[in-house]
Amino acid sequence: MRARKIKDRMTRIMALDLGTVRTGVALSDPTHTIATPSDHPAKGAEATGFVDQIRDMAEADAVERIIVGIPRSLDGKRGPMAHWAEGIRRDLADALSVPVDPWDERFSSTEAAHRMRAGGASSRDIRDRLDSAAAAVILEDYLSTRRFERADENDAGQCR
């Protein structure tokens, strides 16, 4: 019954920038066009109740898919933090009823900090909100890629 309620209303996509102290959260709008950082980061990914907190947030916001940032090195290889993040992603996927997909998060925190500085944020604001801003960068990249792929599919269908 709960799954049906979510399908009856507009759904969102959630992105997570995992951390050990806190996890940044961002949500799309119902049209999957705009990514907005949450004012309420989640617990650290290793904290007791983390999965339950994400489940509650996803249900409250009618989330249909969760994107988890996986930190890769510059050459694209997976280091210890990427393996840790992938393990957390798998835990979420096993416990939740929505898809939980990995996404390359290279430079998301750097990009988020740059945008915040350019917007006039103080050092304290950047420190307090960087995780959720980085999650928004991850989500923007995902949404943009998805739009591009859909455009390619539509163009391919018209070329005969």
CB atoms within 10 A of CB 119: 10
Its pTM stands at 0.85
The residues spanned by each domain of the chain are: 2-152
Instruction: Kindly give, in sequence order, each residue whose CB lies less than 8 Å from that of residue 51, ignoring residues fewer than 6 positions away.
Output: 91, 92, 95, 96
Are 51 and 39 contacting, i.e. CB atoms less than 8 angstroms apart?
no
User: What pLDDT, in 10s, does the model give residues 14-69?
Assistant: 999 999 999 999 999 999 999 999 988 899 999 999 999 999 999 999 999 999 99
CATH number of 2-152: 3.30.420.140
